[in-house]
Structure 1
């Protein structure tokens, strides 16, 4: 019953949080410059966001199956964390870091993500795969 409630909570967290991409601010040319902004504008917006094979439901299912719930037995409550990592052009992940209100959950999320061997579908810009930062919120209630 605990695993089912954890799975439901993990899937519910997907809807509670959303990922946004931020566009870097471009410096405007100096007033004396005669450059037409539109000519030199580079579209650095991600055309297609990175995706785990099977989507968010599949990654959350994987996380819930790998989660060691026994580590949380001495500290019941609601825990939240945010895991940030890079999805590389080849689909591998790197630069994994997790922050949140529980060091136990942070460590567990880092362990699960570092152990993940499945390749992601990388994000693209103009059809070319690029390194993309991905943020995944997680909630757990025990």
Structure 2
């Protein structure tokens, strides 16, 4: 049963990622103070799909057991100049799902390649959508 939930989350994350590749504003990166976009964006080892897979594998959706629903959240977090995830906040239509996505993102210790602007590492903010459908 849990495998179905994780698979559903992973498949939806995959479709969201595919849409994001078509429409850049789905996953956006901005520097502090709404400055210019980085010359080189922050990058998770293996790419955004690897980040989503890591998140999906760590997500506990047992609270959705026995329900049919579609829930979504938007995670906002910073990638520091050292490549660490910082300042995580999650908003969406289900508080329990928001807290779970926040927990999952904070638990990911793999360092990102930091973003660069004019050859210097810069802190960037990412907005990443998450969706889960349970049938």
Same fold (TM over 0.5): yes
Smaller-chain TM-score range? 0.7 to 0.9
Structure 2 stretches of 5 or more lacking a match?
A: 21-25
Could you tell me which of 98, 106, 119 is aligned with 1:106?
Answer: 98
Q: Which whole-Å deviations, capped at 9, do the CAs of 1:16-75 have from their partners, x for residues lacking one?
A: 3422356878xxxxxxxxxxxxxxxxx833101111111111011111110112121154
Q: The residue matched to 1:129 in structure 2 has which SS?
A: strand
Matched position secondary structure for 1:80: strand
Cα deviation, residue 76, structure 1: 2.7
The whole-number CA distance in structure 1 between the counterparts of 2:112 and 2:59 is: 20
Specify which of 80, 95, 99 is matched with residue 88 of structure 1. 80
Instruction: Give the aligned length.
Output: 125
TM-score w.r.t. the length of structure 1 is 0.79
Whichever of the two has the greater Rg, that structure is 1
Which of 2, 6, 12 aligns to 1:9? It is: 12
Q: Indicate the structure with greater helix content.
A: 2
Q: Is the Cα–Cα contact under 8 Å of residues 90 and 122 in structure 1 kept in the other structure?
A: yes
Report the counterpart of residue 52 of structure 2 in structure 1: 60
Looking at structure 2, the residues matched to 49 and 60 of structure 1 have their Cα atoms a distance apart, in angstroms, of 17
Unaligned runs of 5+ in 1: 26-42
